[in-house]
Structure 1
Amino acid sequence: MEITSRKENNTMIVSVQGRIDAVTAPAYESGMKELLEKETLFILDFEKLEYISSAGLRVILATAKSLKAKSGKMVMANVTGTVREVFDISGFGAIFTMYDSIEAALAGME
């Protein structure tokens, strides 16, 4: 798993590539904790995310809860394929706001 981040329009865009599973979830959580100390607006870009497990869903939910405590906001972009299926089957698709592109997510943050 690889995580990259960049800031645009006061929003941190976090791109995740590869897999978020039991092995990589702690690294995702650690990386996000660092960003959460400085930022409150996030777009998770899952365009290159190939797989997410229940451990991955758990750390995403933990991120959302941490942001909520700080009055922050997190949305997702480019959630497609099997990753989207996991979100929909688990009910997470109804919990999180999802956009088809980063541009649409940025517009939705305003």
Structure 2
Amino acid sequence: MMESQTIGEMRVLSLTGRLDSINAAETEAAIVAEIKDGATRLVLDCSGLTYVSSAGLRVFLVVAKRMREIGGKVVLAGLAPSVKEVFAISGFLQILTVCESRDDALAMCEQEASR
């Protein structure tokens, strides 16, 4: 499940529940649609995610690649300990920008936009 909110020039997408093979393609399509709709600064609020599978991890990679291609920025926020562990084990914490809170992620995106 995903909710979208625009704050200034930033799009905040709140992800909840499980991100796995059952809904990964649908979630990816929804996030890519936000990018195609003009979102260049994305905060993915993951505080409501309880589980991420390898299919779910792929969604984050695809989104990061799309944002790099358009010169945008994506920041993840609020990873639950179990989800953060999956990101750490897979090496994603080294390749994606992750903040502890949604507010930290918004501030980081805002700083990037003002550069």
Which of the five TM-score ranges fits, normalised by the shorter chain?
A: over 0.9
State the match for 1:34 in structure 2: 33
- Percent of aligned positions that are identical: 37
Deviating 4+ runs (over 2 angstroms): none
Within 5 Å, give how 1:1-110 maps onto structure 2: 2-37=1-36, 38-109=38-109, 110=111
Give the C-alpha shift of residue 32 in structure 1. Answer: 0.9
Q: Deviations over 1:27-58 (max 9, x none)?
A: 10110121011211101001010000000111
Structure 1: gaps spanning 5 or more residues? none
Q: CA separation in 2, counterparts of 1:48 and 1:59? A: 16
CA distance in 1, matches of 2:80, 2:94: 15
TM-score where L is the length of structure 2: 0.91
User: Unaligned regions of 5+ residues in structure 2, if any?
Assistant: none
TM-score of the aligned structures, taking structure 1 as reference length: 0.95
1:8 aligned partner, one-letter code: I
SS at match of 1:47: strand
2:68 counterpart SS class: helix
The count of residues paired between Structure 1 and Structure 2 equals 109
Deviation at 1:81? 1.5
Give the drift of 1:107.
1.1
